[in-house]
Structure 1
Amino acid sequence: MNEKNLSYTTAAALAAFNSPPPPTYELGSGDMLNITVWSRPELSGEHVVGPDGYISLPVAGPIKIGGLGREESHELVRNALAQYYEAPQVNIEVTDYVSNQILILGRVTNPGALQFINPPTLLEAITLAGGLPVGGMGSEKATLTRCAVFRGRDRVVWLSLKDLLAGRNLALNLQLRAGDLVYIPDADDQLVYALGQVNTPGAYNLSPEMTLLDVISRAGGLTEDGDPNQVTLVRPSENASMTVRMSDLLSPDPQLNVSLSQGDVLYVPSSRLGRVGYLMRQINPITSFLIFTQTFTGSSSD
Structure 2
Amino acid sequence: MGEEKMLARKTNCSGSPPPPALGRNLSVALHALLAVAAFGMFALLRGQDAPSARQENSTRPDAGVLKPVPNFEVTAKEDFISPDDLLEVYVVDVAEISREYRVSPGGSITVPLLNDPIPATGLVPAQLAQAIGERLRAAGMVTNPQVTVAIKESRLRCVAVTGAVSRPQLYPFSGRTTLLDVISQAGGLADEAGTTAVITRGDLAMRVLSRGRRDETEPPRVVTADLKRLLETGDSELNLDLYPGDRVTVQRAGVFYVVGAVNRPGGFTLKNDREEMTVLKALALAEDLKPTAIRNKAMILRKNTRMPEGREEIALNLQRILAGRAPDQPVKADDILFVPDSSSKRAMRRGAEAAIQIATGVIIWRR
Q: Which category describes the TM-score, using the shorter chain as reference length?
A: 0.3 to 0.5
**TM-score w.r.t. length of structure 1:** 0.39
Q: Which has the higher helix share?
A: 2
**TM-score w.r.t. length of structure 2:** 0.34
Greater Rg, structure 1 or structure 2?
A: 2
